Amino acid sequence: MSEKKKVSLLEGFKAFLTRGNVIDLAVAVVIGAAFTNIVNAVVKGVINPLVGAFGTQDLENYSSCLKGPCVTDPKTGEATEGIRILWGSVLSATLSFLITAAVVYFLMVLPMAKYLAKRAAMQAAKEGVQETMEVSELEVLKEIRDALVAQRSGGSSGSGGSGSGSVEGNRGEEPGRGDLT
């Protein structure tokens, strides 16, 4: 029985992996990773030097000293004494995030939302036409029923029908009595 369980687990896992959502998610992760590298390069290669042109250094190098004198090693640029808060790198990461979010929203989410809205409107219009056709079919059937009821009640008063005024009331009666032919 454990062999059947293993087979069903593997089949279930395979079905899970081959579903469209999982494949789409994997593609999105790969594209997101590549896009993140591009955004990070833009922030480090363009934005940080622009900030450095107006200030004294790159954005990532801005920091504050929390405790003690902050002494940095001139060769490595790392703090040898004191506690530094590297708020410049946090600001740089925030800029990277905002740029990524803006690009994803304006180039992917917004167009997809518009596309889905148009698609939903077209589907609703199509369903509206189908609903109108169903309503008109129902009206035609009601008219036919009313005409048959009127014909039956006006033409053969002694038919022995159920008297319900509808065609449905004649079901199950003997042939020749109350039928509409």
Q: Which two tokens stand for residue 166?
A: 């509808």
User: Residue 78: its pLDDT value, please?
Assistant: 72
Summarize pLDDT for 78-107 with one digit per residue, the tens. 767 778 888 888 888 888 888 878 887 888
pLDDT at 56: 66
Q: Crossing angle for the helix pair 20-42 and 87-104, nearest 10 degrees?
A: 130
Yes or no: domain 2-116 corresponds to CATH 1.10.1200.120? yes
Give the per-residue pLDDT at 148: 93
Backbone angles phi, psi at 175, to 5 degrees: -60, 140
- Are the CB atoms for 63 and 55 separated by under 8 Å? no
User: Given pLDDT bands bounded at 50, 70 and 90, which one contains residue 147?
Assistant: very high
Domain assignments of the chain as residue spans, ordered by start: 2-116
pLDDT classification of 162: cutoffs 50, 70, 90: very low
pTM recorded for the entire structure: 0.46
Confidence band, pLDDT 50/70/90 cuts, at residue 174: very low
